[in-house]
Amino acid sequence: MQDKYPKSYTPGNVEKKWYEIWQKSKIYIASADSPKPAYSILMPPPNITGILHFGHVLNITIQDIYIRWKRMSGYEVCWFPGTDHAGIATQTRVEKELAKEGLTRYDLGREKFLERVWKWKEEYGGIILRQLRELGISCDWSRTLFTMDESASNAVREVFIRLFDEGLIYRGKRIINWSPLSRTALSDEEVEFREVKEYLYTLRYYFVDSDDYLLVATVRPETIFGDVAVAVNPNDERYKNLIGKKVLVPLANREVPVIADEYADPTFGTGCVKITPAHDPNDFEVGQRHSLPIINSINPDGTLNEFAGEFNGLERFEARKKIVEKLKEKGLIEKIEDYVHNVGFSQRGGEPIEPYLSDQWFVRMKPLAEIALKPVLEGKIKFYPKHWEKTYQHWLENVRDWCISRQLWWGHRIPVYYTPDGRYTAARDEDHARTKLGISQDVPLEQDPDVLDTWFSSWLWPLTTMRWLHDGVTEETADLKKFLPTDLLVTAPDIIFFWVARMIMATMKFKNEIPFKDVYFTSTIRDGLGRKLSKSLGNSPDPLKIIEKYGADATRFTMTYLSPLGQDVRMEIDVKTQDIPSMEIGRNFANKIWNAGRFLLMKRDMIFLPDCCPENVDRQLRPEELSYADKWILSRLHSTIEKINRNLENYRINDYAKLLYDFIWRDFCDWYVEILKVELKDSNEISFNQALIRFALEIFENILKLIHPVMPFVSEELWHLLTGRTENESISIQSFPTPNQKFIDESIENNFEVFQFVVEEIRKLRNEVGIEPAKKVDLIVSTLNSGLATMFEENKEALAFLSRANEVSIVQHSVENVRAITSVVREVEIHLLITSDFDISKEKERVAKELERLNNNISSINNKLNNPAFFEKAKPEIIEREKAKLASMNESLEKLQKLLERLSKL
């Protein structure tokens, strides 16, 4: 019998078995024709270059909790999976592979290079989705979409054409964020700013034919070759008489005018600012206002060009050093000062971006921002936590046009066609372009070589996943009618602008509908020292190895348990072993559930043996047969169900996990199952025991349903062992428990909580005075509360069993003149009677020695913490550890002092 139910839960085999069964049985495939109410979630598509990390684990687990919960709650559930083509990241990956062969993409040409990328995608692009399966997720894999699938590409092309025709997409010369590493434009949201310590160089700009000069401060002397003016503020009295005069650009020796513009800040540096329209967005605006020429002195790869003279071909930062040396040599530097400021870096490549003048394609964002802000302000779309709404509003109210063109080959090629004379239009193909341009078929056309920003396909995710415009024409689909708007989006807050806002824009624009009702922003995951997980810090273990060690259920539960809404997730991480000891929370919990199930199943099998079963094997416990503990666990179950549903509705997922943990571990396993052992032992009536074990198994089946959304594998395995169902049936499609108010009794729960406190206090007293675990002592429980007295009387046998008592007396009067260790808990006096063989003096001596030892240790730590030298030399974590040790010792000291007082009274 024991082989049938292994002593410990081994997740590996169980997880592999059930995931294969789930996929084979197709229970997670959704139907748009179902009469059930719809519930849907869009999976944020991971990049095809991606590898599973703990951000994915948390994000995907939360989604699966809601998908499974709603499926069990009677909804037709659809979870749309897919992957993103990740333009820059994927092209960079393949170019690195080519470099190993001594090749570049230009050696292959565009067509052959794209063949190579598609081949790479087919080989490696599905890895991340296969890794996600290890978590046991229940999405509809039959709907998996890749952002460059034909259906998605058709929609992307059609959207571009429509926006172009409306004038919402335009081509313009602008200063954009340029990645010299990837040689492509970046949107503002793809740039992250970091504080950098550099130098502020004050240069001498000599007046033409004069020894006088203006002092001009700059952080980027390498851009002087693009200078076309020096600006001063028109209200700056120091320079009013110099406006209109000419100065020479250092090293370039180009004559440029001194102009008046309010952009010049009189309080910064000298009040004079060099104007370089090709390499600074503010300078570009100044240049436009004053009709200044534009000189681009930096190449796309970040090297200086022919305008830089002798510095032509030097990398920009190397050039800076050489230029500063030359400026010093020629006496053109007045001073050099330390300067701290924010510099933009490419999120993809990590290098400092280059403000760069270029022809690019843009989306006019203001009209779209207006329609995207309204549903959030009106509460049609809710953010969790709510404070992200302010961030969202601020961004939309200050939004800038979106640069959507990228100088790459991998991606959706911009559907714009040019004539030899420079005319152009957006079109589905050359024929369509000729028709729109009104030109003959023999006029050659050339398609724009650039591709669209990856986010231009991702912003259509709520639509393309449901096959909107899959053929470039079809506006309505069964999926759109059934599942749009989706119910929940789970995502990281750092893409609120990249993705969340833009999806709202696109869906409102093209369907006049919100894409989702709720947005749950996940927490940042940090280690025990508060650092974000990263490979460079060595504090980001491989989730697959953690899952292999602890199991998917344990990993999912731990992540949920540690993730309060709106707060960072903290996990203890062993950098040396790349382990996460915090995962013991989930593994121990899974084993606790397994062992409880194993005990109940073994008892069931014993009680229902064929030779001892009565005729009426289906007998249920009659209401009058329910013990106080039975009524209590039934009440606790239904009040827990009520709280769980409420917490899930409000996205308090860690409260959901903690409710499960407290109810199952403490109430069911530590208390009810232990009391059940007493009730089964005390009854010789087989039919009653059968009814009792059936009652306990019904409670346990509800527990399995409650944990299923977060722990799908162990719940499925135990449910099948419990019910004997076939493999084609699944707990996934059973009904989620609903609370029944008639079973909830607060007075029973409150009274039983006192029972628990009393037992725990008795155990603590036994431990404190050193009573051997096997030794039974007499116990008197005294309370003037008649309700509590009745409760204790009904549970006298359980009280004796749980507190290892010999004889238990429940009285409703004060107890005096007894040789006992005494304590009071919630109106209840506890008297643990001490027998004559208990050596009080010896115990007092032991406690006194322990007190002396503790006092010495406390004194030692106090001396250390009061020593300034210790604080200067010790690491913060060591100081905190010493403080924690001191607090623990003081707590122990207080307990021992109270124990000594008790012993002295005997």
Tens-digit pLDDT profile for residues 37-77: 999 999 999 999 988 899 999 999 999 999 999 999 999 99
Pairing between β-strand 145-146 and β-strand 82-83 as defined by DSSP bridges: parallel
Among the residue ranges 309-323, 606-620, 681-695, 698-712, the one predicted with the least confidence is 606-620
Enter the tokens of residue 516.
């989702």
Mean pLDDT throughout 74-103?
94
Mean pLDDT throughout 603-622?
67
| pLDDT exceeds cutoff 80 at 846 | no
Global pTM reads: 0.83
CA distances from 178 to 187, 347, 404 (A): 9, 12, 13
pLDDT score of 793: 92
**Interhelix angle for 673-682 vs 584-607, to 10°?**
10
Mean pLDDT throughout 864-888?
84
Enter the tokens of residue 138.
């229940």
Among the residue ranges 300-304, 539-543, 889-893, 902-906, the one predicted with the least confidence is 902-906
Among the residue ranges 115-124, 595-604, 765-774, 785-794, the one predicted with the least confidence is 765-774
Mean pLDDT throughout 570-587?
90
Mean pLDDT throughout 406-413?
94
Q: 738-745: which pairs have CB atoms within 8 A and are 24 or more residues apart?
A: 738/641, 738/645, 739/638, 739/639, 739/641, 739/642, 739/645, 740/638, 741/638, 743/634, 743/635, 743/637, 743/638, 744/635, 744/638, 744/639, 744/642, 745/631, 745/635
Return left, alpha or beta for 492; rule: phi > 0 is left, psi -120 to 50 is alpha, else beta: beta
Mean pLDDT of the residues in the chain: 91
Mean pLDDT throughout 811-816?
85
pLDDT score of 356: 87
Contacts of 457 (CB under 8 A, 6+ apart): 84, 85, 147, 148, 152, 153, 156, 412, 464
Enter the tokens of residue 522.
């996940």
pLDDT score of 1: 46
The conformation of residue 513, written as its DSSP 8-state character, comes to S
Instruction: Count other Cβ atoms within 10 Å, centred on residue 257.
Output: 16
Q: In whole angstroms, give the CA distance from residue 744 to residue 672.
A: 16
**Amino acid identity at 171:** R
pLDDT score of 404: 94
Gyration radius of the chain over CA positions: 36
- Which residues, listed in sequence order, are joined to residue 358 by a DSSP beta bridge? 174
Mean pLDDT throughout 265-283?
91
pLDDT score of 133: 95
Mean pLDDT throughout 466-470?
97
CB-CB contact of 68 with 708 (8 Å): yes
DSSP for 69-103, please give it. Answer: HHHHTT-EEEEE-EEB--HHHHHHHHHHHHHHTT-
Burial of 893 (C-beta count, 10 Å sphere; 0-12/13-18/19+): middle
pLDDT score of 813: 87
